[in-house]
Amino acid sequence: MDKILVIIPSFNGEKIVTRTLESLKAQTFQKFDILIVDNASTDGTPEKIKLLVDRDKYYSEKITVDKQETNTGFAHAVNIGLKKATSENYLGCLLLNQDSYCEQDVLSNGFRFLHDKTIGSCSPIVLYPDGRVWSMGAKVLSPRELILGLHFGVAVNDQKGKKPDPALPAEYEVDSLAGCAMFISTPAIRKTGLFDERFFMYAEDSDYSVRLKKMGFRLICFTNSAVIHDTNDSGVNLRSRASRKKYQRFMSSQIRYLWKHHRATSMIWTLKLPLILTHEYITRRKKS
């Protein structure tokens, strides 16, 4: 099947998912279907999507909703889509966050890379709403860098916080790609397998990127279109239960990644956590 499956994991996204879907409706390339995997939202997200489907023939022909009874995490939701993409012989898929929306040519540009058998995954530039770079691929940190540095995570987004350089090449190879806007070819899924569901959220994309490269696939960032990721990367608010839970999951995912790929490094990095967290807190305070 010469089509793409767009996989959108959703959780309490009633106020933002419409914008994401509207950006897909506006794509110049329309050979795709949309699978929304809802992780037991409690804010009316499934009802909002049903309303869109009932009112608009375009959405009724494009969208399938898989409503989960419990929130089992981002990786599990993605895997529901990856299984559908492989079983129904899609050319590939696009993982897209509910808080991310696409410029009009994202799908057309990603589609052409899916035909290259050497490329396992690709992504457009990912921008903040104000036009600064959120990610242009990421560098996966080596054990040496993690041991000697004070890095908050296992990967660092390239050019984060900067304005895009107009002299950038049209495409280039990277270590890792962000799961908020990640094309993956079906042959690569079949060879590499599914996402590791032990990662509830965070670091699952770094893990999958590393696995793709181990299988011999290239990862490409293309720069002629962008996805807007509506996030502010705010610091942890210890008074907010949701914020504390988010950062607990983030840190546990980093440790899980290191334990999986660099076991000795994980023990050293965990011992350094108080220092790392203090450094991260001070850095974010200076930026805010």
The count of structural domains within the chain is: 1
C-alpha pair distances (Å), 158 with each of 27, 76, 119, 144, 153: 26, 27, 20, 19, 13
Is 53 part of a structural domain of the chain?
A: yes
pLDDT for residue 272: 87
Is 156 among the domain residues? Answer: yes
- Please, which residues have CB within 8 angstroms of residue 242's CB and are 6 or more apart in sequence? none
**pLDDT value of position 173:** 97
pLDDT at position 143, please? Answer: 93
Please report, in angstroms and rounded to a whole number, the separation of the first and last CA atoms in the chain: 48
In a domain, 64, yes or no: yes
CATH (domain of 198)? 3.90.550.10
Report pLDDT for 244. Answer: 73
pLDDT per position in the chain (288 positions), as tens?
799 999 999 999 999 999 999 999 999 999 999 999 999 999 999 999 999 999 999 999 999 999 999 999 999 999 999 999 999 999 999 999 999 999 999 999 999 999 999 999 999 999 999 999 999 999 999 999 999 988 888 999 989 999 999 888 999 999 999 999 999 999 999 999 999 999 999 999 999 999 999 999 999 999 999 999 998 665 545 556 666 788 788 989 999 999 999 999 999 988 988 888 888 778 777 766
3-state secondary structure of 126: strand
Residue 113 lies in a domain: yes
Q: What is the pLDDT of residue 188?
A: 98
pLDDT given for residue 255 in this prediction: 93
In a domain, 149, yes or no: yes
CA distance 62 to 33: 5
- The C-alpha atoms of residue 262 and residue 62 are separated, in whole angstroms, by 42
Which amino acid, residue 240?
Answer: S
Residue 124: name the closest of 223, 217, 29, 7 by CA. Answer: 223
In a domain? residue 287: no
Calpha distance 29→272 (Å, rounded): 48
Q: How many residues does the chain have?
A: 288
Assigned token pair, 112: 């052409």
Q: 279 vs 73, 160, 274, CA distance in Å? A: 29, 18, 9
Output the pLDDT for position 18. 94
Give me the domain span that covers residue 216.
Answer: 4-231
Amino acid sitting at position 247: Y
Residue 248 belongs to a domain: no
